[in-house]
């Protein structure tokens, strides 16, 4: 007795099943893909305020640099300098620091990482390499305090910047 197997109907059913299975996987793959916007840890709002609340022009009442080594300190305001911080609602900012002998401008974007940590992505830094600061907003006074290595400053005027921490207090004008 011989078993007669017609390979064509079985092959057609197998191909149909395989194609349908692949189609289901493709649909799940496409549906599962996200543009990344939902996973972006960079947010406008933090624990107690939103970056958009900072929009406007702020003038420094304090801007100090402390050497990481503990062997240097510079108080910009006491030395006759000034600083102005202009923040847009999207977090983009321009900080203009005027020293007694010139000025320097810094730009970038402020945001909260994971709605918790205040971060600044400076334009001159590598992408996705933010600097983190302690932050306080109280009425029209905004304060940023950075830990070690949040800035560089030439404390001894030798032309070489040394590691520094920075403290900035600004008042909205």
Over the stretch 51-84, which tens digit does the pLDDT of each residue have? 999 999 999 999 999 999 988 999 999 999 999 9
Q: Is residue 26 part of a domain?
A: no
Nearest one of 108, 170, 173 to 142, comparing CA atoms: 170
Residue 84, in any domain of the structure? yes
Structural domain containing residue 122: 42-172
pTM: 0.76
In a domain? residue 32: no
User: Which domain CATH number covers 139?
Assistant: 2.40.128.120
Asked whether 115 and 46 are in contact (CB, 8 A), the reply is yes
Assess if residue 8 is contained within a domain. Answer: no
Q: Give tens-digit pLDDT for 3-45.
A: 333 344 444 444 444 344 444 443 444 434 444 445 678 999 9
**For the chain, what is the domain count?**
1
| 29 belongs to a structural domain | no
- Please check the confidence at residue 133 and state whether its pLDDT lies above 70: yes
Residues of the chain by 3-state class (helix, strand, coil), percent to 5: 20, 45, 35
């Amino acid at each position: 007795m011989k078993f007669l197997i017609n390979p064509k109907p079985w092959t057609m059913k197998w191909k149909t099943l395989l194609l349908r299975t692949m189609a289901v996987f493709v649909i799940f793959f496409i549906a599962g893909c996200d543009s990344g916007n939902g996973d972006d840890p960079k947010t406008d709002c933090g624990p107690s305020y939103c970056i958009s609340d900072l929009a406007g022009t702020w003038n420094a009442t304090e801007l100090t640099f402390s050497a990481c080594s503990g062997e240097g300190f510079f108080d910009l305001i006491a030395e006759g300098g000034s600083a102005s911080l202009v923040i847009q609602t999207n977090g983009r900012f321009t900080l203009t620091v005027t020293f007694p002998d010139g000025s320097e401008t810094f730009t970038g974007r402020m945001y909260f990482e994971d709605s918790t940590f205040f971060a600044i992505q400076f334009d001159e830094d590598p992408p996705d390499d933010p600097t983190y600061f302690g932050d306080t907003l109280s009425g029209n006074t905004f304060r940023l305090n950075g830990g070690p290595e949040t800035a560089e400053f030439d404390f001894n005027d030798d032309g070489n910047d040394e590691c520094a921490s920075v403290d900035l207090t600004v008042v909205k004008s």
